[in-house]
Amino acid sequence: MGRLDGKIALCTASAQGIGLATVLAFVKEGARVIATDINISKLEQEVKDVPAAGIEAKMLNVADKGQVTALVDQLDRVDILFNCAGIVPNGTILDCEEADWDQTMNINLKSMYFLCRAVLPKMVAQGSGSIVNMSSSISNVKGVPMRFVYSVSKGGVSGLTKAIAADFVSKGIRCNCICPAAVETPSLQERINASPDPVKARAAFVQKIGRMGKPEEIAALAVYLASDESGYTTGQELVIDGGWGLA
Ligand code: NAD
C-alpha cells in the first residue's frame, strides 16, 4: 500500500531536479500525478517509462495565469499541489533591474498565487488538501551574498504559505514550504559551471555544507508533507540543509 494511494497531485517544474524526483516519488507512493513543466519535451522524455496510469505530462508556464486556470479547470479534484518552479538569479540589489525583479517574482512567487488561488476552491469543496511550496534556506531563513531577488521571492513564499495555512486550516487544508540548502540539480550545476572557477566553487559548497543534498532527499520530505502522515503539520517552513544553517 502506498502512502499517497488514491490521491491526485498537481506538480510544477517536473522535468528535472527536485521536481522530477518528487513526481517519481509521488507516483511510487500511489498518487496519480499531473506533472507539468514549461519544457514539455524534456518532461515527456523523463517520464516516458512511468506507467500511464500513474502520470500525465502537461505543458505549463507557471507565470501565465491563463494557462494555470485552463489546466486546473480540467481537473475534477486536486489532493496535493506541489509548487516547485523557481529560478535563481545572481547578484545584489544593485544588479537587479526592474525586469529581473518582475521575472523572478512572477516565476517564483506570483505563480504560487495563481496556482493556489485556482486549486483552493476544489480543496475547499473536497474538505481536504495539502499544498507544498518550494522555498529555500536562502530566504527569510538566512541571508547570503549575491542572491538578492531570489531571497526576496523565497521569503515571500514563506509568507504566502503561512497566510494560506491560517486561512484554510479550518477547511481541512494544510500548506507548508520546504527550505533546502544546496541540492545537486542541473540548475545548481549550471550555476557552479558559470562561476569563474567551477572546481573551487563546488569545493566551497561542499566545505560549507559537508555535501550537497540529493533531489530524492527533498522528495522524501515532500511525500511526507503531501501524505496524511503530516496531518498535524501546517504553516511551517521545513528547513532541510544538512546542518548548513547551524554554522
Ligand atoms: P531546476 O532549476 O534544475 O529545474 C527547474 C525546472 O523548472 C526546469 O525543468 C524548468 O524547465 C522549469 N521551469 C522554469 N521556468 C518555468 C516556468 N515559468 N514554468 C514552469 N516550469 C518552469 O530545479 P531545482 O534546482 O530542482 O529547483 C526546484 C525548486 O527548488 C526551485 O524553486 C528552487 O528555487 C528550489 N531550490 C533549489 C535548490 C537547489 O540547490 N537546487 C535549493 C533550494 C531551493
- State the ipTM, two decimals: 0.99
User: Residue 191: inside a domain, yes or no?
Assistant: no
Total domain count for the chain? 1
Specify if 201 maps to a domain: no
Q: Is residue 203 part of a domain?
A: no
Q: Which pLDDT belongs to residue 247?
A: 61
Asked if residue 34 lies in contact with residue 56, where contact means CB atoms within 8 angstroms, the answer is yes
220 in any annotated domain: yes
| Alpha-helical runs (H) found in the chain | 17-28, 40-46, 65-73, 98-105, 111-126, 148-168, 186-193, 198-209, 215-226
Q: Whose CA is nearest to atom 33 of ligand 1?
A: 86
Span of 82-86, 146-150, 191-195 with lowest mean pLDDT: 191-195
* 86 touches ligand 1 (CB under 6 Å): yes
Q: What is the mean pLDDT of residues 76-87?
A: 98
Q: How far apart are CA 155 and CA 151, in angstroms?
A: 6
Helix (H, G, I), strand (E, B) or coil at 53: coil
State the CATH number of the domain containing residue 92: 3.40.50.720
The whole-number average pLDDT for the span 5-21 is 98
Known active-site residue 232: no
Tally of CB atoms within 10 A around 154: 27
Neighbours of 245 (CB within 10 A): 13
Q: Ligand 1: which atom is nearest the Cα of residue 187?
A: 3
Arithmetic mean of pLDDT, 59-87: 98
Mean pLDDT confidence for 67-76: 98
Measure 49 CA to ligand 1 centroid, in angstroms: 22
Count CB neighbours of 17 within 10 A. Answer: 20
pLDDT in tens, 154-206: 999 999 999 999 999 999 999 999 999 999 999 999 999 998 899 998 888 78
